Chain A
């Protein structure tokens, strides 16, 4: 049978090598915060009435912004009338733009050349964030409390096995792994391809957290069942459990992979980075449940940290406690 547990330190090394560049990137570059978190500019643009569909008009306006070097602008339209003349007001949210900057000039020129000389930027204002800083802090608190609750639940659910507390702790460690992977990757992708951290990102991280724990518990459940059935040593039981759940882990990963790829290909520009983060997070979640969470149980069972840092040279396994 496939022996996945023997190489556990290789799997841990892969995890650490994935996380460290992300952490460095966070420290050096920080996160590329979108308008939702950092606030930005709000434009009010007066456009004389033109016969065009809504989507077409919105796309053209967004194009003008992109051409002027302002990525990710979002447009909303409203109708107005003065002296029986119909006109359109476009509200655009973008990243911060100063009112005397070259970008503003470029937008103005671009708009006039597209919609005629009567087009004008009525106002350009600074807007605050829509996701307030407090929200993020509260989300972190909520996740922390949820982690404690999950640990408690797993403790109770695994009370029939020796050392039930370990399962909860290892599941949470694997979850933290996934959070670090996702946040680090988001930071790297921020300066690599301009991926923005917005309100959707928060949703993506929460999804990854839920899926990660979900995945891990399926593996742990098998460990619990196999422990009850056999008197094999712990390491072999864990390995067998991982191998037995492997098909299921991969199949579930496959199905979410299908739906996410469909979203990535057809789902439109606005949710592309959301889907990308989810995709990375789910792969990380599957990896961590197979290669971290269950393997950590073995490390704990053998108390292998006594052998770390070259203290115990003998690689002989200590007898199962």
Chain B
């Protein structure tokens, strides 16, 4: 057996084993790696939470237009990755309804919506304000969103935080502090606001990005616009208060109170990392904060009106129906491939099954939220995955017609089919890349989800068609299959065709 066959075989077995582990035993995968790899279903396939938001001040000018705007911002924030398939809708021109798939817990749903993303740096008067403390500031003297959270969510009791604020330059560690159970100040309006040093409105949002600190913990990088008031004030405050705390506040809630370790030149990083949180949790916190900062504040202040769990838009029967459709479609394709291409058809079918398992593993790993159109898209992508095999086998057949030996025909078939597979898939990848990037910047979440699924499908199908199919074909030949009839070629019958072809090619 050839070396390359063995190495491809090993790679395939390892990848398939890993994928099967994720797809069939998500629980055991999660317990070992800490990553949730259960299938994420969209609101059309599973229930979720429905939240009504109404404006705090219904008499504001241009309310409908502002709500439209707010709905757009909420949608982008909720769809951070562009694949969560939530519903954000303006109702009656005076309120917004948000539906979040999979969120069974109303409190968690409020969290997912999380406030207006109003970032402030405040002077905590020398105190290390515990994480989660509600504060009012000179810039925002009222608490903007009244969310009735159970106390367990508001107070993170007895957690040691290691949040740190450091500039990208030489600054390092960290303020270690133990929080006592914070008393939640609910009196409003407040009398003694903290002084706001810098505000999120001066952020250069194009510069907000995920990063890590020197210790490798997830963090969010931010930069204020050059020469903005905030940039100047934070520079002067930090240079005068080295060794003292400064609090970072989002939507009037303290997210960390690091110690100032040096002068901040208008930029820095916010590190996620209360001890006791897992890396995955820190990552999602960083992601959430980045979304909040990047996509800006809501144009109107919203109050939560109602919050309840709700069933899926489509019944269980439609999930069953699409499963049946998927199975029938898959079987039909497999039968066709088997009858038309014989042995290579069988190999393509094995590759197709591997494609299916890999796809679901990747969907769960990313995660991609599966909706009915998503499932339909996947079933459709089956034919894309088959296409690469069809291209290759058509070429192999041609080479056999020309009277090449089986071994030679397989190699030439792959080599000749490669440019067309490369160029066609490359252009589809370009399309999906552009749709994804522009979808992110412009808030077109459906398109982003589509682009992501498409790109994943192409990459996986390239792997199964090129690596897996080729390896299996070489393997069968190395194992001694030598009759061209197995490849759907009949030498005698085809003699005429061969002659025609070769004269044509001359």
Q: Is A259 an interface residue (CB 8 A)?
A: yes
* B-side contacts of A74, CB under 8 Å: 313-314
* A-side contacts of B379, CB under 8 Å: 259, 262-263
Are B380 and A256 in contact, with the CB atoms below 8 A?
A: yes
* B-side contacts of A256, CB under 8 Å: 380, 383
Q: Is A20 an interface residue (CB 8 A)?
A: no
* B-side contacts of A77, CB under 8 Å: 310-311
Are A255 and B325 in contact, with the CB atoms below 8 A?
A: no
Are A135 and B376 in contact, with the CB atoms below 8 A?
A: no
* B-side contacts of A149, CB under 8 Å: 430-431, 434
**CA separation between A226 and B92, bound complex, in Å?**
62
What 0/1 pattern do residues 310 to 348 of B give for CB contact below 8 A with A?
111111111001101110111011001100100000000
Are B387 and A217 in contact, with the CB atoms below 8 A?
A: no
Q: Is A126 an interface residue (CB 8 A)?
A: yes
Are B382 and A153 in contact, with the CB atoms below 8 A?
A: no
Instruction: Indicate whether A259 sits within 8 Å of B313 (C-beta atoms), given known contacts A132-B68, A266-B324.
Output: no
* B-side contacts of A211, CB under 8 Å: 384
**CA separation between A79 and B47, bound complex, in Å?**
12
B311 to chain A, nearest CB (A): 4
Give the A interface residue count (CB, 8 A).
83
Q: Is B419 an interface residue (CB 8 A)?
A: yes
Q: Is B206 an interface residue (CB 8 A)?
A: no
* B-side contacts of A247, CB under 8 Å: 394
A242 to chain B, nearest CB (A): 13
Residue in B88, B310, B423, B432 whose CB lies within 8 Å of A91: B310
* A-side contacts of B442, CB under 8 Å: 134-135, 138, 141-142
Residue in B91, B322, B330, B446 whose CB lies within 8 Å of A42: B91
Are A210 and B376 in contact, with the CB atoms below 8 A?
A: no
Q: Is B72 an interface residue (CB 8 A)?
A: yes
Instruction: Indicate whether A55 sits within 8 Å of B322 (C-beta atoms), given known contacts A42-B91, A262-B332.
Output: no
What 0/1 pattern do residues 254 to 287 of A give for CB contact below 8 A with B?
1110111111011111110011001000000000
Instruction: Indicate whether A139 sits within 8 Å of B427 (C-beta atoms), given known contacts A128-B90, A130-B88, A256-B383.
Output: no
Q: Is B372 an interface residue (CB 8 A)?
A: yes
* B-side contacts of A255, CB under 8 Å: 333, 336-337, 382-383, 386-387, 390
**CA separation between A230 and B505, bound complex, in Å?**
7
Are B93 and A126 in contact, with the CB atoms below 8 A?
A: yes
Are A150 and B430 in contact, with the CB atoms below 8 A?
A: yes
What 0/1 pattern do residues 448 to 489 of B give for CB contact below 8 A with A?
001100100000000000000000000000000000000000
**CA separation between A224 and B424, bound complex, in Å?**
13
What 0/1 pattern do residues 70 to 110 of A give for CB contact below 8 A with B?
00001111111000000000010100000000000000000
**CA separation between A125 and B44, bound complex, in Å?**
21
Are B416 and A274 in contact, with the CB atoms below 8 A?
A: no
Docked complex: B34-57 residues within 8 A CB-CB of A? 44, 47, 50
**CA separation between A252 and B386, bound complex, in Å?**
7
Are A217 and B377 in contact, with the CB atoms below 8 A?
A: no
**CA separation between A210 and B446, bound complex, in Å?**
16
What 0/1 pattern do residues 185 to 211 of A give for CB contact below 8 A with B?
000000000000001101100110111
A73 to chain B, nearest CB (A): 11
A248 to chain B, nearest CB (A): 5
Are B446 and A131 in contact, with the CB atoms below 8 A?
A: yes
A136 to chain B, nearest CB (A): 9
Docked complex: A158-204 residues within 8 A CB-CB of B? 199-200, 202-203
Q: Is A214 an interface residue (CB 8 A)?
A: yes
Residue in A129, A217, A251 whose CB lies within 8 Å of B340: A251
Instruction: Indicate whether A138 sits within 8 Å of B438 (C-beta atoms), given known contacts A128-B89, A255-B336, A259-B380.
Output: yes
Docked complex: B408-454 residues within 8 A CB-CB of A? 416, 419-420, 423-428, 430-432, 434-435, 438-439, 442-444, 446-447, 450-451, 454
What 0/1 pattern do residues 33 to 67 of A give for CB contact below 8 A with B?
00000000010000000000011001100000000
B65 to chain A, nearest CB (A): 11
Instruction: Indicate whether A59 sits within 8 Å of B430 (C-beta atoms), given known contacts A259-B332, A263-B376.
Output: no
B483 to chain A, nearest CB (A): 22
Residue in A1, A58, A221 whose CB lies within 8 Å of B423: A221
Are A135 and B443 in contact, with the CB atoms below 8 A?
A: yes
A212 to chain B, nearest CB (A): 10
B452 to chain A, nearest CB (A): 12
* B-side contacts of A1, CB under 8 Å: 500, 504
Q: Is A222 an interface residue (CB 8 A)?
A: yes
In the complex, besides A54-B315, A75-B313, A225-B416, 17 extra interface pairs with C-beta distance below 8 angstroms are: A1-B504, A54-B311, A78-B308, A128-B68, A128-B93, A129-B89, A135-B442, A138-B438, A141-B438, A146-B431, A200-B373, A203-B450, A207-B380, A210-B432, A215-B424, A274-B373, A274-B376
21 cross-chain CB contacts under 8 A: A58-B311, A59-B315, A74-B313, A76-B47, A78-B310, A125-B91, A132-B72, A134-B442, A134-B443, A135-B446, A135-B447, A139-B444, A202-B447, A203-B377, A207-B380, A207-B454, A213-B428, A221-B420, A225-B416, A252-B387, A262-B332
Closest 10 CB pairs of A and B: A259-B329, A221-B420, A128-B90, A262-B329, A256-B383, A268-B321, A258-B332, A138-B442, A55-B315, A266-B325
